[in-house]
């Protein structure tokens, strides 16, 4: 059963006619984990923030529809959306220090989340302690009486995860939650989120620039470039049979687990195009070694089957 459906979403800046996300569609089923992958500026975080109705000031969704459990989120007023945030859809943010209030004790912050959602039923400080234990916070009594700066980066991220899980949401959005952490702590946080997802039977939307991060964490992937989805498919299809040159470039840039430690990594030449400068052509054409005049003059649409779709006139593996 479909939990959330994003259909033909377009996002613009309201101050000037600049498109940031263009005609993006995807869905997440109950219990499924889906990844949005792409370089900075590709539109993946804006797409996720639009689900929560948290687009930055001056940025707005001007086209498309978002449906959650069959109801349109676009039709809800601000109070109805406030009730959904945290209790039904929650987000793990990239930087825990911006998600936590630096002058409030941890216990007070978590209780504030509970108190702001009386519709979920009566929850107490014991619920706070339970969730903190679940995410591996030691010495709970000391923790709830401490301030965010008294914790390490990895522990702060665990606290943010606890905050997201506190009200038992149906959908959890993770926006590059390990970017600011060292490699060892990254793996611990990823394993923690994956474990909690399985235990609580959560649906998830992972946002990342690194395909390697989500390889074992999601069921399906959507690769974004310059505000559009350029390839969609199951993890197996994307990793074993990438069809868009951009996806192939992302995979080639990953270090090989069997490669030499000083092996030179591959990179994609050039820089990403701004979404509002693309026009009616393939945005990746300036960086693509396979591009033709058709690619520079026409916009390819997503085509394929339910297991694998690509927006490319000359998919990899096809005759050229």
Residues in the chain, overall count: 320
Q: How far is CA 133 from CA 136, 166, 235, in A?
A: 5, 12, 32
State the burial class of residue 290 (Cβ atoms within 10 Å of its Cβ: 0-12, 13-18, 19+): middle
In this predicted model, what pLDDT tens digit does every residue of 38-90 receive, in sequence order? 998 899 999 999 999 999 999 999 889 999 999 999 889 999 999 999 999 99
Class of domain 2-218: alpha beta
Q: Which residue has the higher pLDDT, 28 or 305?
A: 28
CA distance 104 to 188: 26
For residues 159 and 137, the answer to whether their CB atoms sit within 8 Å is: yes
pTM above 0.85, yes or no: yes
> Are 308 and 234 a contacting pair, CB within 8 Å?
yes
Q: Hey, where are the domains in the chain?
A: 2-218
DSSP letter for each residue of 66-130: EEETTEEGGG--HHHHHHHHHHTEEEE-S-HHHHS-TTS-HHHHHHHHHHT-GGG----HHHHHH
Rounded Cα distance, 224 and 150, in Å: 37
The pLDDT confidence band at residue 254, using thresholds 50, 70 and 90, is confident
For the ranges 67-76, 181-190, 201-210, the lowest mean pLDDT is seen at: 181-190
For 140-179, the pLDDT digits (tens) are 999 999 999 999 999 999 999 999 999 999 999 999 888 7
pLDDT score of 30: 95
Cβ proximity of 306 and 219 under 8 Å: no
């Amino acid at each position: 059963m479909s939990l959330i459906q994003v259909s033909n979403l377009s996002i613009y800046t309201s101050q000037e006619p600049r498109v940031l996300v263009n005609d993006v569609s995807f869905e997440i089923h109950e219990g499924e984990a889906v990844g949005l992958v792409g370089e900075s500026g590709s539109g993946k975080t804006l797409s996720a923030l639009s689900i929560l109705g948290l687009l930055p000031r001056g940025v707005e969704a001007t086209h498309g529809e978002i449906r959650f459990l069959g109801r349109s989120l676009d039709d809800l007023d601000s109070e109805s959306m406030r009730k959904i945030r945290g209790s039904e859809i929650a987000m793990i943010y990239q930087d825990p220090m911006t998600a936590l209030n630096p002058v409030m004790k941890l216990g007070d912050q978590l209780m504030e989340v509970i108190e702001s959602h009386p519709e979920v039923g009566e929850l107490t400080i014991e619920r706070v302690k339970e969730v903190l234990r679940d995410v591996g916070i030691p010495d709970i009594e000391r923790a709830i009486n401490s301030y965010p700066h008294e914790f390490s980066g990895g522990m702060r991220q665990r606290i943010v995860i606890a905050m997201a899980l506190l009200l038992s949401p149906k959908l959890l959005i993770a926006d590059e939650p390990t970017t600011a952490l060292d490699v060892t702590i990254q793996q611990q946080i990823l394993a923690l989120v994956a474990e909690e997802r399985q235990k609580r039977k959560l649906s998830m939307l992972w946002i990342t620039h690194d395909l390697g991060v989500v390889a074992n964490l999601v069921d399906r992937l959507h690769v974004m470039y310059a505000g559009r989805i350029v390839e969609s498919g199951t993890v197996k299809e994307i990793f074993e049979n990438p069809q868009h040159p951009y996806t192939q470039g992302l995979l080639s840039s990953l270090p090989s687990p069997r490669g030499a430690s000083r092996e030179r990594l591959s990179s994609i030449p050039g820089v990403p195009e701004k979404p509002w400068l693309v026009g009616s052509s393939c945005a990746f054409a300036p960086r693509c070694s396979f591009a033709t005049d058709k690619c520079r003059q026409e916009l390819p649409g997503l085509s394929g089957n339910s297991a694998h779709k690509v927006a490319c006139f000359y998919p990899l593996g096809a005759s050229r």
